Amino acid sequence: MQLERSANHKAVAAARIDEREPTAAPPGDPRLNRLYAGETTPVSTREAFRLLVWSWRFVREHRRLLLLKCLFAFLGLGFFLLTPWPLKIIIDNVIDGRPLTGIAAEILDPITANNRMLLLAVLAAILVVSAIVIGMVGDNTPRLSTRVPNGGLDQAGFTANDANDGWSLWNGVFGYLEAALTLDLTQRINQSARVAIYERFLQSPLAVYSDQKIGDAVFRVMHDTAAIGAVLYNGVFAPCMAAVTFVLTIVVLWAEFRSEPLIPILAASLLPIVAIGASVFGELIRAQSQEMRERGSSVIAAFEERLAHVHLIKAFGQEEREKRAIDAASRDSYRATLKMIAIFCAMLLVLIPAGGALVVVAIFHLMLEVIHGRITLGDVTLLAGYLGLLMTPMGVIGGTWAGLQIPVAGLRRIHSVLETLGEPAMQANSVDLGGPLHELELRGLTIGYDQTAPVLEDVSIKLRSGEIAAIAGPSGCGKTTLIYALPRFIEPSAGTILANGKDTSHAAASMRRRIGFVFQQESLFSATIADNIRYGNPAAAQDEVRRAAEMAGAAEFINHLPRGYDTMLGRRGARLSVGQKQRIAIARALLRNPDVLVLDEPTAPLDADGEAGLLLTLREIARHRIVLLVTHRPRMLAACDRVFFIHDRTVSAAGSHHNLIRACASYRAYLKDVEAGFPPETATNAAAGAG
């Protein structure tokens, strides 16, 4: 119980860790982390435009592939503008026997010599070649889908397909070439965004992970990044190509039917109807898209959290309850998607009657023109073909703004990570501290969080190589906060951290290379023992790994394993005992050959024999290094050369364990409660009374 409460207090302290001024969260909003602060309000039109421009940063590094993609598209556009003509020629010039006119006559008359059977054969050959090379006009012609079959009716399923989607006018042999190009471009863009977000999460202050659900972070990396490709294709590429297609088609219609101006006018009239309707529904779509992403993120976060605590669920027999919780989260995501579909259906109910009325007028006009002999049946088929070509561009252009509302919500979630997380101060640091560190000094250090009172005030301690120092005090008093300040995981609000007499405020990267950490809750990867030990030094030779294991007291049990250092560990080292994991963690820290070794409650999982063995190891390590412990154990405190006792938000006493017992009543009261088995945090009140 004592250790559990200690861990809880440390989690509370870590939750306050940060490096920059926070953004105020709305009242009652439990998500206090600044990552979410900008996501609690609907996306405004101005912000949507800004996010669309901002997303170009991921596309511009792949400009060559994008230019090649444009080349394919323009080649395809030329072919498809010609596809309605063969059927017109077959009806007018083969079946009705009318003579060829215009450009068609100049091209085909020298080949067919007015032979209708030969003309039919040539046209059939052209259609066959076109079908093989570029495909036939159909439902999927204007949009080449490279979708994967794992999509579902929820946000995660949609974005999984968005990550493999493109825009094309090809679906023949060349379509396969463009499919490969499209997929390559899309995946490169997604990969750039995913790596950038993952890197930013790695650089983030530790406090982020006190509020951040890991499942939400995974959703941002894997699914929200698909919004970049959706913006490129649906917001830039498709509208541009659709606009070119629309203009060229209208030009062809005007050139062919200039004597019938109503025909191109009716064709062009569909565009503003679609555009106005899509714009009206844009805000609803944008808001619901944000809701869909939040719900989809919650599903993944719920899965991740429950699988991480599956042992607890089984121990308390809560499988049925947790199954219902996951089912509820999944249904919420499904319902959010249904609402989005309902919005699109409502938009179609508005647009289809208006567009349908224009189509009825156009058909009636065309039939009258055929009856009066002003146009032929071939002309009608030509118009029908071009109308088919126009429908998709009009839908793309008119629906661009509405369609962009869906990925805009993903762009905002990406923007939140890349623009608000990370440690820019550390990235800018380039100062190297030089030789080995023999002395660390914290001078007048004050650490505060947000607008609350400081956790630590005016802390001054000095650490030297060759000795073991300890930090003691009630849980929640700031011990973990203090050790996190050494590598500048936390930026102090006042005071200085000196290494060999040099200010480290511009040397965070150098400090982190020189400090080895052994955390109370050690994490091991699902890899071999050797790989876990060399995690901080991947280039280390096998002999160096063995030497570090021997120094940490881990070599003996490793050598007794069937595969020794090549033994694969399960999730978080589940195949090892707690003490064995702790020794591997110490070996991992030692392999970096750090100048400073910091251990947070290293003996908490160890028995008396394990504690004694660890003390011998640490004494040997401390001969040439600075060793700093955070511990409650009186035996460990007694073995240290100096103890810094934190009380009333500062180091109230320092000296050897025995000297502190004689001279500091607060320290005696603290130890009394610890030895009696009371939770260390109760020592705060006892110490206050004793003081």
Q: What is the pLDDT of residues 175-205, one digit of tens each?
A: 677 777 877 888 788 888 888 888 887 777 6
Out of 238-247, 384-393, 608-617, pick the least confident. 384-393
Task: Indicate whether 407 belongs to any domain.
Answer: yes
Q: Residue 352's Cα: distance from chain center in Å?
A: 38
Task: Indicate whether 94 belongs to any domain.
Answer: no
Phi first, then psi: what are they for 645, rounded to 5°?
Answer: -100, 120
Tell me the mean pLDDT in the region 490-514: 84
Phi first, then psi: what are they for 470, rounded to 5°?
Answer: -135, 150
pLDDT at 628 over 90: yes
Task: Indicate whether 123 belongs to any domain.
Answer: no
Identity of the residue numbered 442: L
Place of tokens 């659900």: 213
Q: Are residues 394 and 357 in the same domain?
A: yes
Q: Which DSSP string do the residues of 57-111 spell out, in sequence order?
A: GGTGGGHHHHHHHHHHHHHHHHHHHHTTHHHHHIIIIIIS-PPP-HHHHHHHHHH
Nearest CA to 646 among 144, 156, 5, 9? Answer: 9
Q: Among 124-138, 400-414, 577-591, which range has the highest average pLDDT?
A: 577-591
Q: Tokens at residue 187, please?
A: 């995946």
Task: Indicate whether 25 belongs to any domain.
Answer: no
pLDDT (0 to 100) of residue 119: 85
Out of 121-125, 308-312, 537-541, pick the least confident. 308-312
Nearest CA to 517 among 590, 435, 624? Answer: 590
Q: Tokens at residue 188, please?
A: 């490169």
Q: Are residues 380 and 452 in the same domain?
A: no
Q: What is the pLDDT of residues 238-255, one digit of tens each?
A: 778 778 887 888 787 777
Map residue 565 onto helix, strand or coil.
helix
Q: Are residues 556 and 682 in the same domain?
A: yes
Which residues are paired to 145 by β-bridges? 165
Identity of the residue numbered 174: F
Q: Which residues of 545-577 are buried (b: 16+ CB within 10 A; e: fewer)?
A: bbbbbbbbbbbebbeeeeeebeeebeeebeebe
- If pLDDT is split at 50, 70 and 90, which confidence band does 278 have? low
Identity of the residue numbered 491: E
Task: Indicate whether 559 belongs to any domain.
Answer: yes
Q: Which residues of 580-609 are buried (b: 16+ CB within 10 A; e: fewer)?
A: bbbbbbbbbbbbbbbbbbbbbbbbbbbeee
Please say whether the beta carbons of 25 and 40 come within 8 A: yes
Identity of the residue numbered 592: R
Task: Indicate whether 76 belongs to any domain.
Answer: yes
Overall domain count for the chain: 2
Q: Are residues 414 and 472 in the same domain?
A: no
Q: What is the pLDDT of residues 338-362, one digit of tens each?
A: 888 888 788 777 777 776 777 777 7
pLDDT (0 to 100) of residue 468: 92
Q: Which DSSP string do the residues of 271-325 spell out, in sequence order?
A: HHHHHHHHHHHHHHHHHHHHHHHHHHHHHHHHHHHHHHTHHHHHHTT-HHHHHHH
Tell how strand 494-499 and strand 502-503 pair up. antiparallel
Q: Are residues 602 and 641 in the same domain?
A: yes
Phi-psi region at 32: left, alpha or beta (left = phi > 0; alpha = psi -120 to 50): alpha
Q: Tokens at residue 272, please?
A: 């503003």
Map residue 536 onto helix, strand or coil.
helix
Task: Indicate whether 287 belongs to any domain.
Answer: yes
C-alpha 441/C-alpha 642 separation (Å) is: 14
pLDDT (0 to 100) of residue 36: 60
Q: Are residues 379 and 457 in the same domain?
A: no
Neighbours of 164 (CB within 10 A): 19
Nearest CA to 188 among 218, 229, 160, 157? Answer: 229
Could you say which of 418, 453, 488 is where a domain stops? 418
- If pLDDT is split at 50, 70 and 90, which confidence band does 379 have? confident
Place of tokens 């629906």: 399
Identity of the residue numbered 427: Q
Higher pLDDT, 654 or 282: 654
Please say whether the beta carbons of 85 and 382 come within 8 A: yes
Task: Indicate whether 114 belongs to any domain.
Answer: no
Q: Are residues 475 and 558 in the same domain?
A: yes
Q: Are residues 447 and 403 in the same domain?
A: no
Identity of the residue numbered 85: W
Q: Are residues 198 and 339 in the same domain?
A: yes
CATH code, domain carrying 209 = 1.20.1560.10
pLDDT (0 to 100) of residue 151: 42
* Mean residue pLDDT across the chain: 74
CATH code, domain carrying 470 = 3.40.50.300
Higher pLDDT, 486 or 290: 486
Nearest CA to 491 among 477, 476, 514, 508? Answer: 508
Higher pLDDT, 5 or 91: 91
Q: Tokens at residue 118, please?
A: 């030969």
Nearest CA to 564 among 602, 601, 538, 533? Answer: 533
Q: Are residues 378 and 507 in the same domain?
A: no
Q: Are residues 316 and 378 in the same domain?
A: yes
C-alpha 235/C-alpha 165 separation (Å) is: 13
Tell me the mean pLDDT in the region 351-374: 74
pLDDT at 58 over 60: yes
pLDDT (0 to 100) of residue 267: 63
Q: Tokens at residue 239, please?
A: 């509208």
Map residue 397 onto helix, strand or coil.
helix
Q: Among 261-275, 441-455, 498-512, 546-560, which range has the highest average pLDDT?
A: 546-560
Domain that holds residue 472: 439-690
Q: Are residues 550 and 404 in the same domain?
A: no
Tell me the mean pLDDT in the region 631-659: 89
Tell me the mean pLDDT in the region 474-499: 85
Its pTM stands at: 0.63
**Dihedral sign from CA coordinates of 252, 257, 261, 262:** negative
H or E element, residue 382: helix 377-420
pLDDT (0 to 100) of residue 530: 92
